[in-house]
């Protein structure tokens, strides 16, 4: 059986930039795509970034007990699909799920995942990154910063925290953690 790896961190902490190149070095780790009711951002596509769902479709998935966990995050719903994770770990691969801190609390009730938190150097740095990436409105940025404050308080629940000051260094730390824990 493979392991479940939970990766969390505030929106804008650079999770994607840290994870993507590192995952390319670990063919045994599969990134599990979540389902979400959030609208697609430009450049995103269904089945590559998320499974984009309508509210009705998401409700049906809840009814079908398809989720390992699901949560309200930033006014939308996001959920980890049981099927994706189970198929991966049953074939001996590791399933990496990128979820928020509430989702981690729920997953921890069912299993003992390897948990890693990616933190920004500071809230100021986070605000700057969110503003620069121009994917959210100013109101969305405000709400993401408020959520980030709460999420940062949960970083002590994770086995590892990586502070993303320098991208190459953060990638190196993630590589070391995965090598130590999985190989
Ligand atoms: P974004 O909208 O920027 O792609 O993601 C926003 C937040 O939703 C991130 O903190 C991300 O970790 C979280 N998220 C993405 N997928 C899931 C999921 O399946 N479950 C939970 N609980 N959170 C998720």
User: pLDDT tens, 85-127?
Assistant: 999 999 999 999 999 999 999 999 989 999 999 999 999 999 9
Structure tokens at 168: 């190459």
Query: Does 81 contact ligand 1 (Cβ within 6 A)?
Result: no
Quote the CA–CA distance of 71 and 67 in Å, as a whole number: 10
Q: How far is the centre of ligand 1, averaged over its atoms, from the C-alpha of 92 (Å)? A: 25
Q: How far is the centre of ligand 1, averaged over its atoms, from the C-alpha of 30 (Å)? A: 17
Q: How far is the centre of ligand 1, averaged over its atoms, from the C-alpha of 101 (Å)? A: 9
**Ligand 1 atom at shortest distance from the alpha carbon of 80:** 19
Q: What CATH number is associated with residue 78?
A: 3.40.50.300
Query: Is pLDDT of 11 > 90?
Result: no
Number of domains in the chain: 1
What is this structure's pTM?
0.93
pLDDT of residue 135: 80
Instruction: Judge whether 113 and 4 are in contact, CB under 8 Å.
Output: yes
Q: Which of 9-23, 130-144, 153-167 has the lowest mean pLDDT?
A: 130-144
Quote the CA–CA distance of 114 and 26 in Å, as a whole number: 15
Structure tokens at 173: 């730390």
The residue range of the domain holding 33 is 4-182
Q: How far is the centre of ligand 1, averaged over its atoms, from the C-alpha of 105 (Å)? A: 14
Query: Is pLDDT of 162 > 80?
Result: yes
Query: Does 71 contact ligand 1 (Cβ within 6 A)?
Result: yes
């Amino acid at each position: 059986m493979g392991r479940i790896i939970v990766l969390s961190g505030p929106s804008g902490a650079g999770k994607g930039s840290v994870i993507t190149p590192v995952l390319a070095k670990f063919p045994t780790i599969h990134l599990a795509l979540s389902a979400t009711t959030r609208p697609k951002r430009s450049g995103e596509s269904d089945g590559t970034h998320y499974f984009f769902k309508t509210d009705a479709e998401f409700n049906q998935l809840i009814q079908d007990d398809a989720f390992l966990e699901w949560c309200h995050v930033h006014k939308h719903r996001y959920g980890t699909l049981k099927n994706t994770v189970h198929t991966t770990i049953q074939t001996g691969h590791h399933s990496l799920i990128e979820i928020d801190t509430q989702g981690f609390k729920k997953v921890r009730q069912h299993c003992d995942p390897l948990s890693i938190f990616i933190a920004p150097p500071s809230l100021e740095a986070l605000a700057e990154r969110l503003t620069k990436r121009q994917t959210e409105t100013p109101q969305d940025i405000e709400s993401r910063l408020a959520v980030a404050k709460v999420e940062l308080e949960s970083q002590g629940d994770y086995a590892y925290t990586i502070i993303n000051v320098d991208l190459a260094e953060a990638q190196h730390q993630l590589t070391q953690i995965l090598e130590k824990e999985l190989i």
